Amino acid sequence: MRFEGTYVAMVTPFDKDKQIDEEGFRSNINYLIDQGVDGLVGAGTTGESATITHEEHQRVIEILVDEVDGRVQTIAGTGSNATSEALSLTKFSADVGADAALLITPYYNKPQQHALVDHYSTIASKCDIPLIAYNVPSRTGCDIAVETAVELAKVDGIEAIKEAAGSVDKVSDIYRALSREGLEDDFNILSGEDSLTLPIMAVGGTGVISASANVDVKRMVLMVNSILNDDYTRACELHYEMLDLIRALFVETNPVPVKTAMRLMGFPAGPFRQPLCDMKDENLEILKKALKESNLI
């Protein structure tokens, strides 16, 4: 499967009792599809996967697949720091019809590089669903090395990487290493850093899995499509138009600013699961200013 375009790492909206707002989630799904996204990710980091129960995690994936109903690609967040749990969630996602699974590197354990290959290979060998490895060392304490990314690309069933190490050089090195092995067309690199999506795609990335697209989906879709159509003049314009907002959406831990922005815009989002909590007043003002300047509130 090819992964190309704009994928939204969706929030999990909660009601006032901090239970999943199923109606609100379905509403958000339909809004994002109407804006031209290529795919949606449920129960990922932006979806507060660390604080939803196993049963809730499965329910989010079920709702996503059901409501999308084949209109765009559905990607289930199924990563865990235990291979057995990641395997269970990935099998479940395949069984309910998700198009792919996004698996964050095992966090806290800090597995060795060869252990990462073993982790992903084990899941790929036991699940009939394309896998996307997710590298975000700032959250996990574990970084997928360039050489490891190439080894993953050689494994049947592992078809992409979401790269969020914050380095365009790293993406360049991965793409060059894949090219030397003739793998660059079979293994996609997706931006996991919204503010770096333009340069990442310029050096070989094929799209983005974006948290900020929950808030400013129209411009993110336009920018990514402009890059895919080699219109870098328009893409640069959109990049700079979005830059301050993207930075404001990460002024505190994701998804706190994103859900806050969605509430301000009138979209279903709701409260946070502890230990996350509301934004500090000074950061809230930064976010409001960016939203107003973007004509979103």
CA distance 220 to 32: 11
Is-catalytic flag, 292? no
Is-catalytic flag, 162? yes
Question: Which CB contacts under 8 angstroms, 24+ apart, belong to 291-296?
Answer: 291/215, 291/245, 291/248, 291/261, 291/264, 291/265, 293/244, 293/245, 294/216, 294/241, 294/242, 294/244, 294/245, 296/215, 296/216, 296/245, 296/261, 296/265
Kindly report the number of other CB atoms within 10 A of residue 270's CB atom: 20
Two tokens, residue 79? 């990563």
Two tokens, residue 158? 């592992």
Helix (H) or strand (E) holding 8: strand 5-9
- The one catalytic residue among 16, 18, 154, 162: 162
- The one catalytic residue among 16, 18, 126, 134: 134
- The answer to whether 98 touches 75, Cβ cutoff 8 Å, is yes
Q: SS3 for 209?
A: strand
CA distance 260 to 89: 28
Report, as residue numbers or ranges, the catalytic residues.
134, 162
